[in-house]
């Protein structure tokens, strides 16, 4: 199976601290009864990156996140967050980490503003003298300033998601961990969260995003990792992951059957794409696209277009996981 380049030796060598990693795990395992929900993963998240954590439902993403945040104990293996061992240094690490995991929770009969004020008051490191300004700034940053005094039970799902994000942004964070941050948001809200993530990264915050929306990952992330059945099957920069996917050939023709037969004779394995007149095939390095076009023309196939592209994240993830992913928000 093809996998993306793995972290260098410095990132995975036992006992060695790596200051340029915001998150580092070694041989991380979580067992529920006899099931290995997380099976020996070595995760390496560079500081300053926007890191997409991907995989089908049940692949171990949320279980991993819960261990990173000290919400669940690992069965074995080690975790470092911001250069400190977890769970041993949680009291030191957590004030520097903002998180939104498994959906936001709020007191339904308190306003959005009052919810954030209570949340902020629960933080022993927060300064009550600046609480009002911090809460107002967090609400404005996620687009809830106009609904600050509205009761949380009257919020839509998307508004509740924004409120959870605001809670994660009450204080400056070195690391932000987001589990499905665009869940329930309309397209405009999704764009706003995408822009927010970019602005946080520009300010130096490392953002760790668990998602199943490939379009979002491709637009906002610099690095990604793919989980399957509790195992880490690929990780690296997006460019590395795309390169791993190889080249793809796309042929648009009304003569799909004849074109497919030509491609099979050339040793390719064509497959129908979403369009009725589109064929897609992996293109080996020793097969030239102009040769394919010439063979199609010689076979009297009416060719409307031929395109060659790098491997897409969707193709790579399907190959690695055996499952499809949602590709649009």
Same domain, 143 and 280: no
Judgement on whether residues 54 and 200 belong to the same structural domain of the protein? yes
- Claim to verify: residue 179 and residue 290 sit in the same structural domain: no
CA atoms within 13 A on the CB side of 108: 4
CB 28 within 8 A of CB 77: yes
For residue 257, the domain's CATH number is: 3.30.70.100
198 and 67 in a common domain: yes
The span from the CA of 232 to the CA of 230, in Å, is 7
Q: Clarify whether residues 188 and 221 are in a common domain.
A: yes
Are residues 186 and 272 located together in one domain of the fold? no
Residue 59 within a domain: yes
110: number of Cβ within 10 Å: 15
Same domain, yes or no, for 274 and 174?
no
Contact present, 42 and 27 (Cβ < 8 Å): yes
Q: Among 184, 207, 242, give the residue marking a domain's end.
A: 242
Q: Which domain holds residue 45?
A: 9-242
Looking at the fold, whether 142 and 267 belong to one and the same domain comes out as: no
270 lies in the same domain as 284: yes
Please identify, among 210, 242, 274, the residue that sits at the C-terminal boundary of a domain.
242
What is d(CA 147, CA 156) in angstroms, rounded to the nearest whole number? 11
Residues whose CB is less than 8 angstroms from the CB of residue 240 and which lie 6 or more positions away in sequence, other chains included: 4, 5
Neighbours of 145 (CB within 10 A): 15
**Which tens digit of pLDDT belongs to each residue from 247-297?**
788 899 999 999 999 999 999 988 886 667 888 888 887 888 899 999 999
129 within domain boundaries? yes
Residue 318 lies in a domain: no
Q: How many domains does the chain have?
A: 2
Residues 160 and 219 in one domain: yes
Report the alpha-carbon distance of residue 197 to residue 191 in Å, rounded.
10
d(CA 318, CA 61): 17
Place of tokens 């190959």: 319
Determine phi and psi for 171, rounding to 5 degrees. -130, 155
Which of the 8 DSSP states describes residue 145? Answer: G
Domain-ending residue, one of 242, 271, 297: 242
Does residue 327 belong to any structural domain of this protein?
no
68-96 pLDDT, tens per residue?
999 999 999 999 999 999 999 999 999 99
Residues 13 and 131 in one domain: yes
pLDDT digits (tens, 9 = 90+) for 287-327: 888 999 999 999 999 999 888 876 667 667 766 666 554 44
Per-residue model confidence as pLDDT tens digits over 210-234 = 987 777 778 889 999 999 889 998 8
Closest CA to 224 of 203, 196, 245, 248: 245
196 & 217 share domain: yes
């Amino acid at each position: 199976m093809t996998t993306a380049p793995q972290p260098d030796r410095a990132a995975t060598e036992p006992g060695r601290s790596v200051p340029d990693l915001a998150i580092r795990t070694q041989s991380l395992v979580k067992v529920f009864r006899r099931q290995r929900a997380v099976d020996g993963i070595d995760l390496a998240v560079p500081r300053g990156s926007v890191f997409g954590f991907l995989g089908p439902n049940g692949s171990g993403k949320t279980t991993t996140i819960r261990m990173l945040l000290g919400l669940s104990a690992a069965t074995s293996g080690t975790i470092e967050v911001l250069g400190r061992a977890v769970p041993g240094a949680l009291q030191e690490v957590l004030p520097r980490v903002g998180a939104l995991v498994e959906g936001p929770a709020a007191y339904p009969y308190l306003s959005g503003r009052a919810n954030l004020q209570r949340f902020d008051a629960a933080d022993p490191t927060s300064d009550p003298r600046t609480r009002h300004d911090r809460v107002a700034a967090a609400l404005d940053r996620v687009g809830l300033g106009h609904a600050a005094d509205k009761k949380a039970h009257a919020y839509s799902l998307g508004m509740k998601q924004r409120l959870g994000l605001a809670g994660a942004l009450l204080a400056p964070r070195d690391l932000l961990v987001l589990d499905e941050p665009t869940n329930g948001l309309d397209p405009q809200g999704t764009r706003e969260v995408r822009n927010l993530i970019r602005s946080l990264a520009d300010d130096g915050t490392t953002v760790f995003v668990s998602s199943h929306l490939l379009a979002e990952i491709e637009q906002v992330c610099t690095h990604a990792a793919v989980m399957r059945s509790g195992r880490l099957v690929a990780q690296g920069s997006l460019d590395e992951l795309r390169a791993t996917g190889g080249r793809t050939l796309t042929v648009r023709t009304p003569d799909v059957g004849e074109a497919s037969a030509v491609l099979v004779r050339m040793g390719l394995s064509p497959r129908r794409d979403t369009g009725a007149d589109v064929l897609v095939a992996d293109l080996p390095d020793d097969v030239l696209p102009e040769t394919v076009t010439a063979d199609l023309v010689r076979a009297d196939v009416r060719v409307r277009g031929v395109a060659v592209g790098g491997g897409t994240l969707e193709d790579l993830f399907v190959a690695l996981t055996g499952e499809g992913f949602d590709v649009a928000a």
